[in-house]
Amino acid sequence: MATEIEKKFLIISDDWRLLGSGEDYCQGYLSTEKGRTIRVRTINDRGILTIKGPTVAGARLEYEYDIPINEAREILQELCRKPLIEKTRYKIPFRGFIWEVDEFKGENEGLIFAEIELESRGQSFAKPPWIGKEVTDDSRYYNANLVKNPFSNWQK
């Protein structure tokens, strides 16, 4: 059993762009039912199936499995809800942690936020100077909800 503990933050400057290169992700959802998310993702030539449980006190069960890339691409095109989530993910080390900055494309273009994964709920960490407001508990920023309500539809 794997437990995911992550926090999400908005970005307040572009300083992170100088710190790493990104990989293109495409992901779609077979289920976005509350507490039961099933996602298919491609990263370069890798296909991944992910199953996530409900979030309780900032943590949730998460299971990931590699699947053949051709099957992942077919599932994304034929079975997943649209729009697909397209983004570039940058992995940026900072004081013992890896921050993942997601820059979205397509219907979510203009949205950029960062995530950090922790080993325990109370684990302390330092924030890079380009990190802003925490949005962990704002469900609009869940990738599964960006399918239902893309950033391009948000009131600005």
Active site residue 65: no
pLDDT score of 54: 87
Average pLDDT taken over every residue of the chain:
93
Separation between Cα atoms, residue 4 and residue 6, nearest integer Å? 6
The rounded distance, in Å, linking the Cα atoms of 127 and 82 is 34
- Position 21 scores a pLDDT of 83
Domain count, the chain: 1
Per-residue confidence (pLDDT) for residue 33, from 0 to 100: 87
Task: Please report, for residues 58, 102, 149, the alpha-carbon distance to residue 36 in angstroms, rounded to integers and kept in the order given.
Answer: 15, 23, 18
CB 100 within 8 A of CB 90: yes
pLDDT of residue 22: 94
Q: What is the CATH number of the domain that holds 46?
A: 2.40.320.10
Model pLDDT for residues 99-114, shown as the tens digit of each residue: 999 999 999 999 999 9
> Which one of 25, 29, 90, 141 is the catalytic residue?
29
* pLDDT the model gives residue 156: 60
Range of the structural domain that residue 135 is part of: 3-153
Enter the pTM of the model.
Answer: 0.91
